[in-house]
Chain A
Amino acid sequence: MKVRQVSIFLENRSGRLAGVLSEVAKAGVNIRALSLADTSDFGILRLIVDNVDAGVKALKDSGHTVSLTEVLAVEISDRPGGLAETLEALSAADLNVEYMYAFVCRVTEKAVVVFRFEDVDAALAALKAADISVLPANTVYAI
């Protein structure tokens, strides 16, 4: 259920993002979802890709600072209040969301939200208990 997210350190300079993405492209790795956190000095690019190992290798070989993080991809009903219900369940379980980002799945037409928790196992248990659908990793890589 845990999805491996690739995180990359970026300096806040023009051309840095393009450089990372071209390395990923050269390795034939396709990006499924992406989020960019930025500050005035630096950024952190977070990617969900179809071939994690190939993506990480390509980035490390080209000298980038990369880390792998386990995140959860949660399917959210595409209706008002869908996300709020999920967050309430997490809040009830006293789980803190470090960050999150969303995308819409073409196949199921549902929204998918990627969550980063400090304690991913506790989060997984809480989501299951609340009967919230957590997508299997392979499903996410193949979206």
Chain B
Amino acid sequence: MFNPQAEAMPREELRKLQGERLRSLVARAYERVAFYRAKMDAQGVRPEDIRGIEDIVKLPFTEKSEFRDQYPFGMFAVPMSEIVRIHASSGTTGKPTVVGYTRADIDNWAECAARSLGCGGATAEDTVQVAYGYGLFTGGLGMHYGAEKLGAAALPMSAGNTEKQVMLMKDFGVTVLCCTPSYALQIAEVAEQMGEDVRSFPLKAGFFGAEPWTQGMREHIEERLPLKALDIYGLSEVAGPGVANECLEQDGLHVFEDHFYPEIIDPETGASLPDGEKGELVFTCLTKEGVPLIRYRTRDITLLMNSGPCACGRTSRKMARLMGRTDDMLIIRGINVFPSQVENVLVRIEGVHPQYLIIVDRKGNLDTIEIQVEVTEDLFSDEVKKLEALRDKIHYQIKAMLNVSAKITLVEPKTIERGLGKAKRVLDRRQRI
């Protein structure tokens, strides 16, 4: 355990701490962020109405769209002089959600990422290969700072260049791997192709997240790589990786509740649901200074487990593996994709509104995305090169807008099934949990 005092804090004490932190958070947010002041005023709730953590249900929710509307800095509660880092979502649904971190925010986030690594038994002795992307995406830098905080040696590989990942993993005696679960399998596969006996590498734990994965995939990874495959959860609006992490019991993800307070609500009514019931996950960032976040609706569906104290000794509640989404967002190789974005690209290309179908699959270990576009008379040409140019243009624009490489298939009209009301736009063939 990286921080036993916080991670094994008695529940009563934790609740008291959460209440104190919530009071301070709400006071700050109300005073400094016009958005929260307006929402709380509209709901008729004053900062002094919040006395303990149980009062959190009095507060209004924050929607992703509201966050985005505050682009770029409307959610910031401190002047730029106090901000030391800015991350942003991929912004593929329009403007990105922008999160500024104060020095304390970075420190708290690193603390939680270090606790995450500690959940898998990592210590200062370990070498942590960070194969999440580095950049505006929080995966790479989040785990990097976590590893350093832990005192481990961070190896900032970022994603890609898999042969080099394998070479350094072997030559440096890497013990901890952080990446998407599909990329972990990719690394294993490339290692095998290179003739490396990856089962003999000194790996012990892997922290895999940023895309949905299954128990079956965990077993598959653990067969191929000599490590415990652990689920890590985070999202850029809340902090990044390290909001919650599985311990070696591999039965639910410990939420670092002293920083990120979880709730489960009914996505239709917004009503709070008790532990053990499935619903939408909502987070309040109790300690955030740069961008305070109150009751943020993640759109992720899961439940908070009511299984009692965990054998690992941590007292925080655990959330179950993600069970789906309340919206139509797809996560493809760690990248969030909304069908509406594909539609926007297509509409912009020829000024027409073609029928399309997004087919997501997992071939081998990698998510694949195919977009079938119906060739209408507006798009059709009797020349192969023009149709190929159209296909390549769609591919390029999708790549530019969504940052995913999609296979574009031109299909005959009426190939794509029309629903009675809304057309079916997505076919997700990946194995569900």
Q: B402-422 CB contact bits vs A (8 Å, 1 = yes)?
A: 000000011111110000000
Number of interface residues of B (CB under 8 A): 18
- List B contacts of A128 (CB < 8 A): none
- A63 to B410: give the CA distance in the assembly, Å: 15
Q: How far is the CB of B382 from chain A (nearest CB, A)?
A: 4
- A65 to B374: give the CA distance in the assembly, Å: 9
Q: How far is the CB of B346 from chain A (nearest CB, A)?
A: 16
- List B contacts of A116 (CB < 8 A): 382-383
Does B380 sit at the interface, judged by CB under 8 A? yes
- List B contacts of A34 (CB < 8 A): none
Closest chain B residue to A63, Cβ basis: B414
Q: Tell me if B377 and A66 are in contact (CB < 8 A).
A: yes
- List A contacts of B376 (CB < 8 A): 65
Q: Tell me if B388 and A39 are in contact (CB < 8 A).
A: yes
Instruction: Classify chain A: how many residues form its interface, as a range.
Output: 20 to 34
- List B contacts of A9 (CB < 8 A): 375, 380, 387, 410, 412
Q: A9-B375, A39-B388 are in contact. Are A67 and B412 (CB under 8 A)?
A: no
Q: Tell me if A98 and B383 are in contact (CB < 8 A).
A: yes
Q: A41-B391, A44-B387, A67-B377 are in contact. Are A16 and B412 (CB under 8 A)?
A: yes
Q: Tell me if A7 and B382 are in contact (CB < 8 A).
A: yes
- A67 to B377: give the CA distance in the assembly, Å: 7
Q: A17-58 CB contact bits vs B (8 Å, 1 = yes)?
A: 000000000000000000001010110101000000000000
Complex partner residue of A63 from B380, B381, B382, B413, CB under 8 angstroms:
B413
Does A69 sit at the interface, judged by CB under 8 A? yes
Q: A65-B376, A66-B377 are in contact. Are A11 and B383 (CB under 8 A)?
A: no
Does A99 sit at the interface, judged by CB under 8 A? yes
Q: Tell me if B381 and A99 are in contact (CB < 8 A).
A: no
- A64 to B411: give the CA distance in the assembly, Å: 11
Does A10 sit at the interface, judged by CB under 8 A? yes
- List A contacts of B380 (CB < 8 A): 7, 9, 65-67
- List B contacts of A10 (CB < 8 A): 412
Chain B CB within 10 Å, residue with most, of A10, A41, A98, A116? A41
Besides the contacts A66-B380, A67-B380, A67-B382, what 8 more A-B pairs have beta carbons closer than 8 Å?
A: A9-B410, A39-B388, A41-B409, A63-B412, A65-B376, A65-B380, A66-B377, A69-B382
Q: List A residues at the B interface (Cβ < 8 Å).
A: 5, 7, 9-11, 16, 37, 39, 41-42, 44, 46, 63-67, 69, 98-99, 116
